[in-house]
Amino acid sequence: MSPLVAFLRKEMLEQARTFRLAVLLVSFVLVGLISPLLAKITPELVGMIAEDELGGMELIITRAPGVNDALLQYHGNYSLLPLLVILLSFGAVSAEKSRKTAPMVLVKPVSRRSFILAKAAVPAGLLVAGTTLAAGGCLLYTTILFGEVDLPGYLLVNGMLLLGLLCYLALTLLASVLSPGPAAAAGIGLGGFILFSILGALPLIGKYTPAGLMSMAGEIILGRAVSGIGWSVLGSALLSLVFLFVAERVLSRQEL
């Protein structure tokens, strides 16, 4: 077994044994299944509440919920997942440093590049798997509850959401490398999330951020004309690579 494969194996086992795997997959499945259900029952709920609270006042719901409402719910819920990714991975490197398990591994013939690579590849694989589950679940329920979904558009939206999520993962790994311990890593990760959320709303530069990319996916669901999807995708992809590259460079010089 090569050192990289050995460390990948350990990372996968760790995700499973520490219940991160379960938390992540359950969250994705919930996002996939609950979103169309919510879209279906929200108007009815609102109607019921209105009847109770407003003493039988008729609330006129202008239209019945449709495919787009389900997908918008999905988009909204999926947009919370970056927080989960940050919470599940801020300790990836920082905890190994503060608990002193990293020096035990890195005096062995494992390069620091392999270390980071494994730290990125395993959760990235999980995000891909999770997104596949969520997208599949949402597609199934939406089709059952509301009717047919435009498949190419749906795939594009999911691809964009996934790339945004991966970019947040790369950001969290960088935070984890930069910090001496988990607390600082969580701080930097969440700070980065907030920063991107602000930058993502800005004109011109917003679309190059993962937040911008993910909200652009929402525009596509709404059927609005969006331009520069390619640039936005490129922006987040490049940003992810830069985060990983910097993380690797910093770690390779870091004292343990």
Partner 1 sequence: MSATSAIEARGLTRHFRDVTAVDALDLTVGGPGVFGFLGANGAGKTTAIRMLAGLIHPSAGSIKLLGRPVEKAEVSVRERLGYLPQEPAFYSWMTGEEYLLHTGDLFGLSRKESRARSAELLDLCGLEPAAKRRVGGYSGGMKQRLGIAQALINRPELLLLDEPVSALDPVGRAEVLELIEKLGKEATVFMSSHILVDVERVCEEVAIIDHGKLLVHERTAALRSRALRPVLTCELRGDTGKIERLLAAESWVEAVNSEPGREEPDMTVFRLTVTDRTEAEVRIPRLIAEAGVGLVSLSPALPSLEEVFIALVGRSQKESREEES
Interface with partner 1 (CB under 8 A): 1-3, 5-7, 9-10, 13-14, 17-18, 99-101, 103-111, 255-256
Q: Which is nearer to partner 1, 15 or 215 (CB)?
A: 15
Q: Which is nearer to partner 1, 7 or 28 (CB)?
A: 7
The DSSP letter of residue 181 is S
Query: Please, which residue, 13 or 222, has the CB nearer to partner 1?
Result: 13
- Residue 17 beta carbon to partner 1: minimum distance, rounded to whole angstroms: 4
Answer yes or no: are the C-beta atoms of 166 and 80 closer than 8 Å: no
Q: Which two tokens mark 210?
A: 């993962």
CB of 205 to partner 1, least distance (A): 38
What is the closest distance, in whole angstroms, from the C-beta atom of residue 254 to partner 1 in the complex?
Answer: 10
* Identity of the residue, 3 or 153, whose beta carbon is nearer to partner 1 in the bound complex: 3
What values do phi and psi take at 109, rounded to 5? -75, 40
Per the structure block, which two tokens stand in for 241?
């690579």
To partner 1, the closest distance from the beta carbon of 175 in angstroms equals 21
**Residue number, 5 or 80, with CB nearest to partner 1:** 5
204 residue type, one letter: L
175-200 in b/e form (b: 16+ CB < 10 A) is: bbbbbeebebbbebbbebbeebbeeb
Nearest distance from residue 107's CB to partner 1, in Å?
A: 5
- SS3 (DSSP) at 129: helix
What's the min distance (Å) between Cβ of 67 and partner 1?
43
Nearest approach, Cβ of residue 130 and partner 1 (Å): 21
- SS3 track for 61-101: CCCCCCHHHHHHHHHHHHCCHHHHHHHHHCHHHHHHHHCCH
Q: How far apart are CA 54 and CA 43, in angstroms?
A: 16
Q: Which is nearer to partner 1, 40 or 97 (CB)?
A: 97
Q: Can you give the length of the chain in residues?
A: 256
Q: Which residues contact 162 (CB under 8 A, 6 or more apart)?
A: 127, 128, 131
Toward partner 1, which CB reaches closer, 17 or 224? 17
